[in-house]
Structure 1
């Protein structure tokens, strides 16, 4: 797998206008999220788990609620991080 910063990312639509999420990449076994501060996190089936990853993918594609969901339910349960 390429480094997280090398992945092709989809711009996050940020429908609320207040999200810290800038972009995301959907993976077979997870999701990668780039925040507006440049930090990139990989969330997967191991951490935080399939349930959370599925919800995060849905929110990412909808363009709303992803940042809030991460803050509320996931926090520091990520598989890897780049900054």
Structure 2
């Protein structure tokens, strides 16, 4: 799992792992890892989350707005 950069220092995301058709996200304050896949969240959302994870900015906000309960 890669550490999330969090360029603004205000994210609840601490780490992520990217696969071909999914992204796994670890949030602060929990040991659970959430998997958002093409099947559960849709390709467009997952690809947006991958892009945000790599950039280190906006991932937590995006998940809370568009994919909060769409994990596997």
Q: TM-score, normalised by structure 1?
A: 0.83
Q: How many residues align?
A: 71
**Do residues 29 (structure 1) and 21 (structure 2) align?**
yes
Select which of 3, 6, 25 maps to 1:14: 6
Unaligned runs of 5+ in 1: 1-8
**Do residues 58 (structure 1) and 71 (structure 2) align?**
no
Unaligned runs of 5+ in 2: none
Cα shift at 1:16: 1.4
Q: 1:19-48, CA deviations, whole angstroms, 9 ceiling, x for partnerless residues? A: 000000001110000011123100000111
Of Structure 1 and Structure 2, the greater helix share is in 2
For residues 27 and 11 of structure 1, the distance between their equivalents in structure 2, rounded to whole angstroms, comes to 15
Q: Aligned-residue CA RMSD in angstroms?
A: 0.7
**Divergent runs of 4+, >3 A:** none
Q: TM-score, normalised by structure 2?
A: 0.95
